[in-house]
Structures are given as structure tokens and as C-alpha cells.
Chain A
Amino acid sequence: DVQMTQSPSSLSASVGDRVTITCRASRSVSNYLNWYQQKPGKAPELLIYAASILTSGVPSRFSGSGSGTDFSLTISSLQPEDFATYYCQQSFTTPAFGQGTRLEIK
């Protein structure tokens, strides 16, 4: 099984900040990596798939990069609605999620 590790586990930032969340796979998953956003009491929402492809309707301030074992999700300029928990998920084998990164308002 491929394990996913995100860092940091939590992050405090301000509106307008640029933030980056990283995700590391226990072995190479090529570019089979997805990112989700989840707000309290809601189902996750897909942001990015295949490591860097933005889902339709997702603002362009979100971007993803990486391949192999190291990936990142960047939000170029935080907006109030972006404060949420973010998960990576590998789709190279049976699915596995990272433990999540909680993005909080500073």
C-alpha cells in the first residue's frame, strides 16, 4: 500500500497570503495525485486531479505541482472561503488519503 503524508498538519495564515501544502507518497505514484478541500460538516470537494489539472469551476489561485513522491498545493492569495481542511489522495493504486492540513485564519 502507498501511504500519504501531508505537511504541515495545520497552518495559520492571513487573507492575501500565499500558502503551500505538501504531500509525500511512500513510493512513486507518478502524477496520480488528487487534492480535495473540505469544510466542516460537508463532503470533500475535488480541487485538482492528475497532480496539476484544476477542476472546472475552481479558482485559478489554486495550483498543484509535483510528480513521483513529492507534491504541493499552492493557494496564491488566500480568500476567506479558503479556510478549510485540505487532503491529498493518491490514485496510483487503491485510494489513500493524506491525514489532512487544516488551514486556519491567523
Chain B
Amino acid sequence: EVHLVESGGGLVKPGGSLRLACAASGFSFDNAWMTWVRQAPGKGLEWVGRIKGNSDGGTTDYAAPVKGRFTISKDDSRNTLYLQMNSLETEDTAVYFCSKYDWNDGEHYYFQSWGQGTLVTVSS
């Protein structure tokens, strides 16, 4: 069974940094595509970025609002996904979820497994 557990959220001042972690188990982590999705209080879901599995190059992609400020990485030895957030803005306040790409027939992807989320509050 896939299990994802986020940690690292908290209160940070504007301009500050924070690193979130997502501990994964129950699947082959090194070749999995992983993603971060956030949800501001009372708002909808927003894709943050992803990292491809090692067999697909391990490259990253980011949404425009976080590009250049956020970095996704992973430690395969620890089965852990990370989100390094720098130059944080009040608009980054949200619950951050990690999830795993799953595919049907190798073409259609979807997010079937999610962590419980971790709250990041950016405020002075």
C-alpha cells in the first residue's frame, strides 16, 4: 500500500525559507514521478511542480508562480521527496500535499495517492 507523509510545515516570515519533506513507502520510489500540490486557505488546488523518476531523467518542472524560488529534489536512499521553498511570499501560504503519478496504459496520468498535507504559513 502506498503511504505518503509530509512534514516540515510551519510559520515563516516573508522572504524566508522552508524545506518540506514527504516520506514515501509501498512502491518503487526511485523510478516514480512525484509531485507537490498546494491549497491556499479556502481556495482550490494548485499544482506546484514535479520530479520525474530516475529512468526518465529525474528532471523537474515547476508552475510559473514558484519557478526560480522552489526546488524539488529527492533522496532515493531515504525514499523521501523534498520541496525547498525560498523567497517565500504571503501568497505561498497553503497546505502542501505530495502525491505520486500513476498511469493508465502508460498515457493517462492521475494522482491516486496523496499525503495528509502540511501547512505553511508565511506571515510577519
Q: Which residues of A contact B (CB under 8 A)?
A: 1, 31-32, 34, 36, 38, 43-46, 49-50, 53, 55, 87, 89, 91, 94-100
Q: Is the interface of B mostly helix, strand, loop or mixed?
A: strand
Q: How large is the interface on B (under 10, 10 to 19, 20 to 34, 35 or more residues)?
A: 20 to 34
Q: List 28 A-B contacts (CB under 8 A).
A: A32-B107, A32-B108, A36-B111, A38-B45, A43-B114, A43-B115, A43-B116, A44-B45, A45-B114, A46-B111, A46-B112, A49-B104, A49-B110, A50-B108, A55-B112, A87-B44, A89-B45, A89-B110, A89-B111, A94-B63, A95-B47, A95-B111, A96-B47, A97-B37, A97-B44, A97-B46, A98-B44, A100-B44
A100 to B42, CA, bound (A): 11
User: Distance in Å from the Cβ of A44 to the closest Cβ of chain B?
Assistant: 6
A31, A44, A55, A100, most chain B CB atoms within 10 A: A44
B44, B47, B117, most chain A CB atoms within 10 A: B44
Q: Which residues of B contact A (CB under 8 A)?
A: 35, 37, 44-47, 50, 61, 63-64, 97, 104, 107-112, 114-117
Contact residues in B for A43 (Cβ distance below 8 Å): 97, 114-117
A34, A46, A95, most chain B CB atoms within 10 A: A95
